[in-house]
A and B are shown apart, each in its own frame.
Chain A
């Protein structure tokens, strides 16, 4: 049995307008699961329901095999790290961290040691006597983490813990949080709307839409196969094009079969690295797409190529598609061909690998 198991959890604040509906999720011990979704998709509500801050309307929630629905919030021993951190403004750093310890009845003598231990853990030794107002954003984030970890929760919920920080700090901290949680073998549910944060921290990502999980799996799997166009868009994947009225008969047979699976109103997702520069083996592995190259930009590790696809039978012609050419592998001949194509406005055929394209339902 999973460490945390949710079955059919439902919650509606307003009747007939469910925020969560029939929500199922299993989390294994020591696993960090990331809930990824747009705002309003119910991810924060799920955390609040799990923490006991809201009551679920229906469903079954088990932690270590035991039902927790009937357990008051302050008895669940689930840690919660809030967006904006929500530190107690009338207490200093040490008292904030010690708050949960006092509630658990830690002895007066043992509390300072534990506080110091946690401050070391979040790499803020000696901060115990600081006031909350004196902390920077990153510091208060660490204090909040220390506070939620202090009483040894069975399970940690993190609600967009990095959302209020700037990008650079976020990138630094996300790795730190991951290391810390893994070091403690802490099971955690991490809510974010940022896919890069999710890729970086999660053992498994669960993609939420309208109060349900629409797709879940390890980050790599999700990247490889987002499953739906919605998921792909949410994961910020480029080159996702609706296939309006594809001329199916012009397509290779494998693509025709794909369309049979998805129906004609599908989306095609072309990975930027789909461009095949080596001569291809057969039409089973790649297709040739006539394009008009618009520009070529050197990006360091790679070249970025923007093309307008010509009549390929798959997509409308006007939208640019972004393709990457790994700089090291690009031959001088290909570069020449491309440059000439731009200068002379001559169409060109590009070969896109079959493995790097897929059709997705909406």
Chain B
């Protein structure tokens, strides 16, 4: 129930999330920056030249811009389709497309390798079709593959945001254009796209941000030929111990993130109307296309979804065919086997348990904090909200390597605690939680609260009986999303997790660190399980009605 904007109320609401961010984000960041400039011998032995900085920054921006362009180009037609359909097709498409978004980069790497690697699914199909002896495609470690992987990761962001905007457009605008003589293409260019522009830009900025801070995908699929800022931070900090260079790069990245998010917030507040609850159930309206055209479109879009999901399909296929000519379940069965007696090595099932536990804690911590953030942002006067929103989103664009080093300095006894893992996950989930709940909170009418208060309800009762039921769907979606984020998180987990308490992504990483087919099989099986879990949760998530899904 947003009431009159007030800086005081906003800051009061912001207190708890701000405290959390201070402890788990700003203090560690500050400590590592401070130390890296104070610590002797942490500087580079080779002084970075201007050419070095501009090369790193230039490539980072270039690859992010190219990835964004491709993602938007593919995302918009998909968004159009998602906007046209209703019911289970919409839910499936959205759910499946979002699965990659919560997958750890290491799994995406494995999946792409299973697809386009030598003897990957694609090469095998081509070899069979063209009767070739050698795999025809060599896509690994190529720039296009990095772009495609970014597309695969982020296309759901564009689809969700743009389709969300599209659903809110008055359809009669298109009708009006139609009767004035505009065909479908003309309508798209003259009516829909201009009106979608703010949404499109805000989606593009978000994708740009994700690609700008790309680490795992760039490193695993691109290699060091394609050094993004975040990869370089990792290289400088982990390989060379050039903390000063790493820190300067990190600060550069944080600044860029803030600028991009500031722009994003600005665009969003300019364009988004408060969401009216429950308008989504509007039945499908005919698109004005013939039955054949609709069928063609459906198959094209279905094909696109399929292509986008091919890496995951290839991964699943590989997990049941590895080392065998026919189908085999042995890699899954193998997860039950614990024939090595090794200290500190948790079983895959314990890892699954940890993942679920951390996911629940991360959801339980991030959603209440996110709700407070949401109230703070929705209640803040314009000038304050413009700063609060991007500030809360900063963790999204901060190098986990840098932050991980900061944790070592700033966390005291906490730094070796397994509880640090869900805390780090909460930090990463918070921006998404904020994005999911904010439109609903903005859409709650203040008169609801007033009406309830007039009827004699106490503030708490009012919140419980009026706001909570209206917020419940958004909160549920946020909970599930936070859970999924935690489930698939790898970078930060890697830096703070204890080996006795591994998560699934960590277990996959560990399995891939030792030779032998048993280990590869285990990694593939675990990746497939993680994927199935995420897909299932995503599907459920999109069944919840009346919520913004365009984080």
Direct contact of A and B (CB under 8 A): yes
| Residue interface mask A97-135, B partner, CB < 8 A = 1 | 001100110000000000000000000000000000000
Is the beta-carbon distance between B176 and A88 smaller than 8 angstroms? yes
Chain A contacts for B194, CB-based, 8 A: 90
Interface size on A, residues (CB 8 A): 29
CB-nearest residue of chain A relative to B176?
A: A86
| Residue interface mask B280-319, A partner, CB < 8 A = 1 | 0001001010000000000000000000000000000000
Decide if B7 is an interface residue (CB 8 Å cutoff).
no
User: Among B177, B194, B195, which residue has the most Cβ atoms of chain A within 10 A?
Assistant: B177
How far apart are the CA atoms of A147 and B179 in the complex, in Å? Answer: 11
Chain A contacts for B195, CB-based, 8 A: 89-90
Chain B contacts for A103, CB-based, 8 A: 180-182, 186
Decide if B172 is an interface residue (CB 8 Å cutoff).
yes
A104 → B minimal CB distance (Å): 6
CB-nearest residue of chain A relative to B186?
A: A103
Chain A contacts for B190, CB-based, 8 A: 99
Is the beta-carbon distance between B173 and A88 smaller than 8 angstroms? yes
Is the beta-carbon distance between B181 and A88 smaller than 8 angstroms? no
Is the beta-carbon distance between B181 and A86 smaller than 8 angstroms? no
A86 touches which of B170, B182, B183, B286 (Cβ 8 Å) = B170
Decide if B191 is an interface residue (CB 8 Å cutoff).
yes
Known: A53-B288, A99-B190. A74 touches B175 (CB 8 A): no
Decide if B8 is an interface residue (CB 8 Å cutoff).
no
A73 touches which of B170, B179, B186, B283 (Cβ 8 Å) = B179
How far apart are the CA atoms of A164 and B185 in the complex, in Å? Answer: 31
CB-nearest residue of chain B relative to A89?
A: B195
CB-nearest residue of chain A relative to B170?
A: A86
Would you list which residues of chain B between 338 and 355 have a CB under 8 Å from chain A?
none
Decide if A55 is an interface residue (CB 8 Å cutoff).
yes
User: Which one of A75-83, A186-194, A206-214, A293-301 contacts B?
Assistant: A75-83
Is the beta-carbon distance between A55 and B179 smaller than 8 angstroms? no
Is the beta-carbon distance between B181 and A104 smaller than 8 angstroms? yes
How far apart are the CA atoms of A89 and B182 in the complex, in Å? Answer: 17
Is the beta-carbon distance between B179 and A79 smaller than 8 angstroms? yes
Chain B contacts for A64, CB-based, 8 A: none
A53 touches which of B170, B178, B182, B191 (Cβ 8 Å) = B178
Question: Can you pick out 13 interface pairs between chain A and chain B where the beta carbons lie within 8 Å of each other?
Answer: A52-B178, A72-B288, A75-B181, A80-B176, A86-B170, A86-B176, A88-B176, A99-B177, A99-B180, A99-B182, A100-B180, A103-B186, A148-B180
A contact set with B: CB distance below 8 Å: 13, 48, 51-55, 72-80, 82, 84, 86, 88-90, 99-100, 103-104, 147-148, 151
Nearest 9 Cβ contacts at the A-B interface: A103-B181, A100-B180, A80-B179, A73-B178, A86-B172, A86-B176, A74-B181, A90-B194, A51-B179
9 other A-B residue contacts (CB within 8 Å) besides A78-B179, A82-B176: A74-B179, A74-B180, A80-B176, A80-B179, A89-B173, A89-B195, A90-B195, A103-B182, A151-B180
